[in-house]
């Protein structure tokens, strides 16, 4: 399976190229829908019926980021459709839809062109059909809200009337897309398509799926990573009323790293009670030797022998005799995703194939992984994508789907596997823990001339591929492409072994590296007597570009978001009061630009984050209210981690179990959040993640501002 | 196993369940009322909040036996057409992201507004801090509660 060898950054590239140009000229096969009112199909994405309804297939998973609203907006814009007549259907896994994986803040970016082209092609076909009816030149006709008008004769035709004749036409290959200035829907606040279903409890998440004859399963997994069943006594479990089967589940590489014992019953509660009654002895071998203490020791030692992975300029020479050296060490823990909806999947495996229903970010990975495990062909595995009660990277992995498929196969019935919160907390693919030693060289003119960043971590790539030749591939973003004008930049990395599974946690390495970079820049500013914002701007020469391709880094865009938060926060002016502090951070990630100023207050030794001012440039804003929501959410996710979250290991197992020992930010701790979106005509870039990386360092810098205490570890501990 | 009568959303339902079964699983598995969500099973997240005799309760840690005979309202019973002022406010503020926690949030907010028709931010913190939202919609929840308070 390809995805596991792909780093998040490659995956950005893949998802942006794979779907381009895939739509037009593809004649969609029957879509398994009631064919009646559907007449005009354009590529796999659009259907327009004789009822005038425009149906857009959503091929990305919605875990809260709002793609089920924003993607059809893009189609409706080019089509000049009536938004109230647009419907969506969630795509099940099918190759014809192209790259279906959702991650890397790439849904809008990757679908922007293909959906616009499909919408414009459909519009052009409707216009050609109308022109024939009117006996007019198609170029003279206008379209608004799903109605085509001939300005000369004042005659009109609706999409409903035109769908049938348009369906007889060839899908045009070359279509002209709108100029941004002509957008009517894109850039407007559009309400979420799922609002009504959500507030009435009708929205269907994986957990809500019921299929006829379905049984319910709860799985006890080895607490220590990699542990196998040494002894199993299921007598008591089987005597729990409602329990039907007890099934051993074996791990399958990193696709399914857990060995477990599944209790299958008539109801979720019976399955959970049966599972409680299991008597299992686990053998986790050497894994039990790992603890947070052993890992920290190792990280601390190995960072000293880190090897160079990037050297621009000559960092060793530059660091050999600077006028001044500044050094600091930063530490970050393992983190769990803790999606609000615990993992779950429904699988129905028969002799002919498998069907799954689940909230997944990668239906393609579920498909290939289940097909491999059950020795089925890809076509025999149907994957239905439900609503996701949060994803944040956790629902990228296929482990929970595989388990359901294996249990269903073993018991010969459809099965829903529901994870408990404890299962989720203890069997995640965690954000890697890491240690960072950073040194800065300052020359005699007080100028930052060298940046040497050494870090050690058990990496994501190395978890999925122990032979990876670039095990730092999912950890070095933001470091080996540090966008600042510093003459000498060196990055060294040491891979540290760990039994803990690693994975992609919202904003991946940027959540880590931004904390180190922005905290250290703040330290440098204080040590060299400069203003942190002024220092960062001085490292971003106007007009500087870096990299090539569609999305080079543009210093001007980062400068702009920094200037916005500087001006909006009253930076440089008096603090809002006694015990108040202010901190700043900025990060370029997922091709978007974000800057934040945090304001904190200290009361009785406790930090209260009062306000976060954020500016983001993510190219053309498709649904600004959706962007605002994502940035607000990313800030909360990052703040929650900075203030509270830490996964610790003892005996090769995670110690935390539920929200009492892995607390999340609650409403009473919530700061005011202001989001400023930079108007732009550039192609859209990431939204779901870029708001996260600046928040931890902005708050840490604000705490320093008010207390003079430098917090170099996450989560923050003030005492 | 015992025969238990539950009054849910104005209808009396007879079910057979072990009396220690949490109300949550009876609602979801037996009565197919899946709008009420499971989040932690320990009363720590509020995803499972329903209203019983006018109080917001955590259905994951309340047994069916305890609420037998009480008037239970779930998200499905608030209004099927999203016409309840709290539901309307939630839509107007575009509160939901993934939406998973929102049934619980809405039920907590309904009880809050019944007790404090004009809640202060402190009242909101008090009543809503038992409801987690991993997507971070807290400020919009606050906004929607104030909006609903104006409408009621
Ligand atoms: S599921 Fe009941 S409080 Fe979390
Ligand atoms: S909206 Fe996703 S957890 Fe609240």
Q: Which residue in the block uniquely carries the two structure tokens 């001012």?
A: A613
Q: Residue A548: what pLDDT?
A: 73
Q: Which of B133, B139, B140, B144 to mutate to test the pocket of ligand 2 (most atoms within 8 A of CB)?
A: B133
* Exposed/middle/buried for residue A112 (C-beta within 10 Å: 0-12, 13-18, 19+): buried
Which of B18, B51, B76 marks a domain boundary? Answer: B76
Residue to mutate among B97, B121, B126, B130, with most A CBs inside 10 A, is B97
CA A172/CA A178 separation, integer angstroms = 16
Q: Which of B21, B22, B35, B45 to mutate to test the pocket of ligand 1 (most atoms within 8 A of CB)?
A: B45
CA B8/CA B72 separation, integer angstroms = 5
A292-335+430-707: what fold?
Aldehyde Oxidoreductase; domain 4 (3.30.365)
Task: Flag if B103 and A201 touch (Cβ within 8 Å).
Answer: yes
Q: Identify which ligand lies nearest to the alpha carbon of B131.
A: 1
Q: Residue A37: what pLDDT?
A: 62
Q: Are residues B12 and B70 in the same domain?
A: yes
Residues 21-60 of B with CB under 8 A from A: 21-22, 25, 28-30, 32-42, 44-45, 47
Task: Flag if A388 and B98 touch (Cβ within 8 Å).
Answer: yes
pLDDT digits (tens, 9 = 90+) for A157-216: 999 999 999 999 999 989 999 999 999 999 999 999 999 999 999 999 999 999 999 999
Residues A474, A586, A192, B138, CA torsion sign:
positive
Residue A104 Rama label (left phi>0; alpha psi -120 to 50; beta): left
pLDDT digits (tens, 9 = 90+) for A257-310: 999 999 999 999 999 999 999 999 999 999 999 999 999 999 999 999 999 999
Please check whether residue A388 touches B, CB under 8 A: yes
What is the ipTM metric for this complex? 0.99
Q: Which of B22, B36, B44, B52 to mutate to test the pocket of ligand 1 (most atoms within 8 A of CB)?
A: B44
pLDDT digits (tens, 9 = 90+) for A550-567: 899 999 999 999 999 999
CA A402/CA A405 separation, integer angstroms = 5
pLDDT digits (tens, 9 = 90+) for A7-62: 444 333 333 333 322 222 223 333 344 445 668 999 899 999 999 999 999 999 99
Report how far ligand 2's centroid is from the alpha carbon of B132 (Å).
8
Please check whether residue B90 touches A, CB under 8 A: yes
Q: Same topology for domains A29-198 and A206-285+343-418, yes or no?
A: yes
Task: Flag if B82 and A199 touch (Cβ within 8 Å).
Answer: yes
Instruction: For residue A672, give how far its alpha carbon lies from the nearest alpha carbon of chain B (Å).
Output: 7
Ordered strands of the A86-90 beta sheet: A38-42, A46-49, A54-58, A86-90
Q: Which residues have CB under 6 Å of ligand 1?
A: B 38-41, 43-48, 58, 60
DSSP calls for A448-516 = EEEEEEEEEE--HHHHH-TT-S-TTTTT-TTTTT--S--SEEEEEEEE---SS-B---TTHHHHHHHHH
The torsion angles phi and psi of A678, rounded to 5 degrees, stand at: -75, 125
Q: pTM of the prediction?
A: 0.95
Which of B46, B76, B106 marks a domain boundary? Answer: B76
Query: Relative to the CA of B48, which ligand 1 atom is closest?
Result: 2
CA A539/CA A491 separation, integer angstroms = 18
Pocket flag, ligand 2, residue B96 (CB < 6 Å): yes
Please check whether residue A610 touches B, CB under 8 A: no
Q: What is the DSSP letter of A577?
A: S
Please check whether residue B124 touches A, CB under 8 A: yes
Contact between B111 and B152 (Cβ < 8 Å): no
SS3 state at A350: strand
Pocket flag, ligand 2, residue A323 (CB < 6 Å): no
A29-198: what fold?
Aldehyde Oxidoreductase; domain 4 (3.30.365)
Give the structural domain span for B55: 2-76
Task: Flag if A241 and B21 touch (Cβ within 8 Å).
Answer: no
pLDDT digits (tens, 9 = 90+) for B55-70: 999 999 999 999 999 9
Residues 63-82 of B with CB under 8 A from A: 74-76, 78-82
Contacts of A640 in chain B (CB under 8 A): 136
**CATH number, domain A206-285+343-418:** 3.30.365.10
Sorting pLDDT into bands at 50, 70 and 90, what band is A716?
A: very high
Query: Relative to the CA of A389, which ligand 2 atom is closest?
Result: 2
B42, B45, B100 ranked by CB distance to A205: nearest: B100
Task: Flag if B38 and A339 touch (Cβ within 8 Å).
Answer: no
Considering only CA atoms, which of A333, A346, A354 is closest in space to residue A435? Answer: A333
Check which CATH number belongs to the domain holding B97 and give it.
1.10.150.120
Using CA positions, which residue lies closest to atom 3 of ligand 1? B43
Report how far ligand 1's centroid is from the alpha carbon of B104 (Å).
9
Sorting pLDDT into bands at 50, 70 and 90, what band is A604?
A: confident
Q: Are residues B37 and B89 in the same domain?
A: no
Q: Are residues B61 and B89 in the same domain?
A: no
Q: Are residues B55 and B117 in the same domain?
A: no
Report how far ligand 2's centroid is from the alpha carbon of B96 (Å).
6
Which of B47, B76, B105 marks a domain boundary? Answer: B76
* Residue ranges per structural domain of chain A: 29-198, 206-285+343-418, 292-335+430-707
Pocket flag, ligand 2, residue B31 (CB < 6 Å): no
The torsion angles phi and psi of A454, rounded to 5 degrees, stand at: -110, 135
Task: Evaluate if residue A530 carries a pLDDT over 70.
Answer: yes
Please check whether residue B15 touches A, CB under 8 A: no
Residue with more model confidence, B149 or A8:
B149
What is the average pLDDT across A567-589? Answer: 92
B41, B82, B134 ranked by CB distance to A390: nearest: B134
Q: Are residues B56 and B114 in the same domain?
A: no
Two tokens, residue B103: 């049934």
Query: Relative to the CA of B134, which ligand 2 atom is closest?
Result: 3
Query: Relative to the CA of B135, which ligand 2 atom is closest?
Result: 2
Average pLDDT, chain A: 93
Pocket flag, ligand 2, residue A340 (CB < 6 Å): yes
What is the average pLDDT across A75-91? Answer: 98
Q: Which of B36, B40, B100 to mutate to test the pocket of ligand 1 (most atoms within 8 A of CB)?
A: B40
B87, B100, B126 ranked by CB distance to A199: nearest: B87
Q: Please count the other Cβ atoms lying within 10 Å of the Cβ belonging to residue A305.
A: 10
| Domain total in chain B | 2
Considering only CA atoms, which of A237, A302, A284, A286 is closest in space to residue A264? Answer: A237
Residues A446, A447, A448, A450, CA torsion sign:
negative
Q: Are residues B65 and B92 in the same domain?
A: no
Q: Are strands A448-457 and A488-495 parallel, antiparallel or unpaired?
A: parallel
Angle value at C-alpha B50, between B48 and B56, nearest 5 degrees: 110
Contacts of A666 in chain B (CB under 8 A): 129, 132, 138
Q: Are residues B68 and B9 in the same domain?
A: yes
Nearest-by-CA chain A residue for B23: A269
Q: Residue A277: what pLDDT?
A: 98
Report how far ligand 2's centroid is from the alpha carbon of A89 (Å).
22
Q: Residue A603: what pLDDT?
A: 86
């Amino acid at each position: 399976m390809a995805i596991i060898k792909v780093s998040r950054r490659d995956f950005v590239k893949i998802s942006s190229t794979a779907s381009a140009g895939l739509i037009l000229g593809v004649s969609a096969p029957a879509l398994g829908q009631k064919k009646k009112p559907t007449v005009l199909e354009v590529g796999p994405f659009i259907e327009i019926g004789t009822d005038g309804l425009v149906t857009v297939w959503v091929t990305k998973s919605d875990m809260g980021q709002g793609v089920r609203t924003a993607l059809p907006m893009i189609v409706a814009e080019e089509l000049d459709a009536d938004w109230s007549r647009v419907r969506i259907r969630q795509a099940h896994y099918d190759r014809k839809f192209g790259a279906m994986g959702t991650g890397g803040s790439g849904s809008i970016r990757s679908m922007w062109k293909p959906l616009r082209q499909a919408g414009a092609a459909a519009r052009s076909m409707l216009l050609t059909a109308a022109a024939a009816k009117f006996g007019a030149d198609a170029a003279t006709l206008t379209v608004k809200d799903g109605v085509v008008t001939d300005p000369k004769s004042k005659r009109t035709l609706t999409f409903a009337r035109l769908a049938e004749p348009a369906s007889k036409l060839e899908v045009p290959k070359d279509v002209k897309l709108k100029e941004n200035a002509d957008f009517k829907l894109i850039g407007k606040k559009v309400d979420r398509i799922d609002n009504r279903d959500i507030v009435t409890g009708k929205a269907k998440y994986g957990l809500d799926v019921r299929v006829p004859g379905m049984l319910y399963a709860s799985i006890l997994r080895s607490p220590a990573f990699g542990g196998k069943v040494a002894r199993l006594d299921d007598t008591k479990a089987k005597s729990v009323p409602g329990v039907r089967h007890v099934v051993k589940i074996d791990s399958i590489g990193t696709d399914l790293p857990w060995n477990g014992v599944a209790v299958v019953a008539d109801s979720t509660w019976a399955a959970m009670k049966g599972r409680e009654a299991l008597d299992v002895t686990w053998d986790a071998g050497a894994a039990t030797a790992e603890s947070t203490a052993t890992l920290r020791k190792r990280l601390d030692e190995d960072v000293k022998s880190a090897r160079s992975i990037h050297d621009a300029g000559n960092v060793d020479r530059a660091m050999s005799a600077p006028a001044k050296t500044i050094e600091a060490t930063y530490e970050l823990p393992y983190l769990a995703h803790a999606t609000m909806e615990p993992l779950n999947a429904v699988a129905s495996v028969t002799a002919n194939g498998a069907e799954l229903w689940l909230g997944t970010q990668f239906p393609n990975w579920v498909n290939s992984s289940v097909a491999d495990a059950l020795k089925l062909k890809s076509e025999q595995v149907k994957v239905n994508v439900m609503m996701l009660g949060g994803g944040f990277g956790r629902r990228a992995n296929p482990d929970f789907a595989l388990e359901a498929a294996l249990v269903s196969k073993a018991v010969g019935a459809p099965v829903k596997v529901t994870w408990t919160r404890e299962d989720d907390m203890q069997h995640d693919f965690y954000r890697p823990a890491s240690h960072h030693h950073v040194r800065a060289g300052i020359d005699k003119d007080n100028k930052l001339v060298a940046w040497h960043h050494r870090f050690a971590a058990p990496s994501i790539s190395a978890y999925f591929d122990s032979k990876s030749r670039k095990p730092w591939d999912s950890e070095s973003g933001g470091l080996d492409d540090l966008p600042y004008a510093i003459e000498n930049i060196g990055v060294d990395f040491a891979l540290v072994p760990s039994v803990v599974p690693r994975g992609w946690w919202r904003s991946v390495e940027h959540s880590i590296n931004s904390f180190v970079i922005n905290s250290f820049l703040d330290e440098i500013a204080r040590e060299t007597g400069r203003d942190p914002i002024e220092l960062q701007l001085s490292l971003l020469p106007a007009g500087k570009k870096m990299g090539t391709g569609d999305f080079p880094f543009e210093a001007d865009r980062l400068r702009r978001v920094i200037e916005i938060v500087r001006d909006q926060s009253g930076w440089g002016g008096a603090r809002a009061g006694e015990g108040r502090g202010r901190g700043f951070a900025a990060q370029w990630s997922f091709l978007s630009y974000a800057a934040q100023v945090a304001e904190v207050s200290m009361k009785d030794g406790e930090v209260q984050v009062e306000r976060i001012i954020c500016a983001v440039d993510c190219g053309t804003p498709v649904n600004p209210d959706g962007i605002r929501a994502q940035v607000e959410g990313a800030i909360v996710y990052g703040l929650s981690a900075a203030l509270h979250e830490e996964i610790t290991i003892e005996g090769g197992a995670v110690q935390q179990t539920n929200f009492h020992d892995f607390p999340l930010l609650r409403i009473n701790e919530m700061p005011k959040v202001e989001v400023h979106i930079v108007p732009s005509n550039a192609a859209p870039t990431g939204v779901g993640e870029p708001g996260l990386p600046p928040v931890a360092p902005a708050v840490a810098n604000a705490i320093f501002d008010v207390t003079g205490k430098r917090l170099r570890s996450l989560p923050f501990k003030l005492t | 196993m015992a025969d238990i009568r539950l009054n849910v959303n104005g209808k009396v339902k007879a079910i057979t369940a072990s009396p220690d079964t949490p109300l949550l699983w009876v609602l979801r598995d037996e009565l197919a009322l899946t709008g009420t969500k499971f989040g932690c099973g320990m009363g720590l997240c509020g995803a499972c909040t329903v209203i019983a005799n006018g109080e917001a309760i955590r259905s994951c840690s309340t047994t069916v036996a305890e609420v037998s005979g009480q008037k239970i309202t779930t998200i499905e019973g608030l209004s099927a057409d999203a016409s309840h002022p709290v539901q309307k406010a939630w839509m107007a503020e575009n509160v939901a992201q993934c939406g998973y926690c929102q049934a619980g949030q809405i039920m907590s907010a309904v009880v809050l507004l019944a007790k404090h028709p004009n809640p202060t931010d402190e009242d909101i913190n008090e009543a809503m801090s038992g409801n987690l939202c991993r997507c971070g919609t807290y400020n919009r929840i606050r906004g929607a509660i104030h909006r609903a308070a104006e409408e009621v």
